[in-house]
Amino acid sequence: MPLPSMLPQQVLPFGFVFVYAAFGVSGFILGWVAQRGNYCFVNAMTSIFTTKSYDRFGALLILFGISALLTGLLVVTGIVPAVDQYYDNYFSGWYVIVGAVIFGFGATMAGGCNLSMLYRAASGYVQNWLELVGMMVGTYIFAVAIWPFQSFTMADGILSTKLGAYTEYLPYDLFHSVSQVSIGVTAAGIGVPLMAIGIFLQRKTRSRRSVQSSGISGIGSLHALAAPASTGRVGPLPLIGLQGTKLRLSDAKEMLLLRRPYGANFSTLLLAGALLLVFVAGAGYTFNYLVITSSDGGRFLEYILMPFGVNLALNTPWYNDALPILDPSVLMVVMLIVGAFSASLLSGDFKVRVPHQRKRLAVGFSGGILVGIGVRTALGCNIGMMWTNFAQLGYDGILFLFSMLFGVWIAVKLQRHLV
Amino acid sequence: MSTTTVARKFNYSRLIAPIALIIFAVGWYEFSVVYIPNANNQLVANDNLAVYVPIQQIQGYLAALIDATYLTVSVGLIMFAYYFVKLLRFRSAR
């Protein structure tokens, strides 16, 4: 049987300007929507362990499910070639699990995942500024202390796969084929259950909430060391089609005028749309790892040092063999910050917020270091590795999800002792 | 209501923030033009092609970035004007 192709094919042959522009637009949407929806993967997970609320976690599962389904649909219908879906699938191994646990722990302590760190930093949360700085430091620590060993295990296949690409592609793993049927079956097999579980969890939480009829915060009440949540509405809007009800015109107007935050499910749909945009635009340019934010934590340190005559890409491990000096995610992250900043400013939410408890700053910084180490060890963050990998029909995202949940659980337990 | 009270109610960070946005956008563009191609050339000079980026890609980045910068600066100016008018209204309300 011939091996699957490894020649990416462009869907929209408009050149690099178009690709970069698409990533920039997608980044702006991500920042804007995440800020308006207060979309945080870590808060979604902590709320499971603190308030037993599954609203936001359910929205995450719906996001993963809908991303897998829609990208699968684009491939099955022939709009995007299969090779563009699996071309950038990463290796898998011990590092995904270890890194995700460290990341989940660090992000919970610091008060934000890679997405919420960026939009909260842009909304004026000083704790998240320090988390970002800590992430840069953590990335450097990873580069010089961990990467040489990790790359050795990856090259030698020690508790690691060695090929990536289609060998990490579930349709190929399950059916030894990248035919449209195998991709369609796999996409449905991943997407439908995830969406069903997500909706079920949300309904369960809402019914429990209606019984209790008291305001339960989706953010963990014991989440005392984390950055406080923004004005995002907790839980799914009872207005979205997924919930079987309609978006009222007055609500839409309120959201358009930035008087009202977006609901979790509405945000989910918009985020999935942003992912699809880069999936199509980046196809064939080998940028189809879709949405990515964590690499740029490391890249920004590289950029900050350039004016001082230091080029990390010349002789620092990882920087000199694994991190291209530029890629579309740079523009995506920059525009994500611009989008989040614009949304927070126009909605009146922007304010430079220094935590009353000064120890939060230290916790934010040290948590950021762990985030930097964790995301690089895992070869990506909750966005670039977990969400994206669900859309790539890989299995690293599943490993990352459960490992991250474990890390979050440890951090919640620890916070209970600290508070 | 006294001027002091009115002035206290106006959040000046909303006026400063758009300026910060504009400076960030222009600064980022200038940085990208000056340092990224230079760092890329250094990689070629040192025979490190593992993280080198083809020149067409950098040109694409800069072309997309200039549009993004124009857009961001425009939005920043609009925000600044909006909050400046708000500030003037607050002050004239004394």
- Give pLDDT, residue A25: 94
- Give pLDDT, residue A213: 64
Over residues A406-410, the mean pLDDT reads 97
Task: For residue range A93-107, list pLDDT tens digits in order.
Answer: 999 999 999 999 999
- Give pLDDT, residue A362: 93
Q: Which of A19, A21, A303 sits opposite B31 (nearest CB)?
A: A303
Q: pLDDT below 50 — which residues of chain B?
A: 1-3, 6-7
Looking at this protein, which amino acid is placed at residue B64? Answer: A
Confidence of residue A241 (pLDDT cuts 50, 70, 90): very low
Contacts of B39 in chain A (CB under 8 A): 306, 311, 313, 325
Does the pLDDT of residue A216 top 50, yes or no? no
- Give pLDDT, residue A285: 82
- Helix axis angle, A94-110 to A359-377, nearest 10°: 160
Q: How far is B7 from chain A (nearest CA, A)?
A: 17
Query: Is residue A95 within 8 Å of A160, Cβ to Cβ?
Result: yes
Q: Does B43 touch chain A (CB under 8 A)?
A: yes
What's the gap between Cα A414 and its chain centre?
A: 24
- Give pLDDT, residue B87: 87
Task: For residue range A159-188, list pLDDT tens digits in order.
Answer: 999 888 888 999 999 999 999 999 999 999
Does the pLDDT of residue A1 top 70, yes or no? no
Over residues A257-271, the mean pLDDT reads 89
Residue of A341, A346, A350, A354 to mutate when probing chain B, most B C-beta within 10 A: A341
CA distance B80 to A404: 41
- Give pLDDT, residue A252: 79
Contact yes or no for A323 and B28 at CB 8 A: no
Answer left, alpha or beta for residue B48, where phi above 0 means left and psi between -120 and 50 means alpha.
beta
Say what percent of chain A tops pLDDT 90. Answer: 63
Tell me what the pLDDT averaged over chain A comes to. Answer: 87
Contact yes or no for B31 and A338 at CB 8 A: no
Q: Mapped to the 3 state alphabet, what secondary structure does B28-78 carry?
A: HHHHHHHHHHHHHHHHHHCCCCCCCCCHHHHHHHHHHHHHHHHHHHHHHHH
Task: For residue range A35-91, list pLDDT tens digits in order.
Answer: 999 999 999 999 999 999 999 999 999 999 999 999 999 999 999 999 989 988 888
Query: Is residue A42 within 8 Å of A114, Cβ to Cβ?
Result: no
Q: What is the ipTM of this complex?
A: 0.88
Task: For residue range A133-155, list pLDDT tens digits in order.
Answer: 999 999 999 999 999 999 999 99
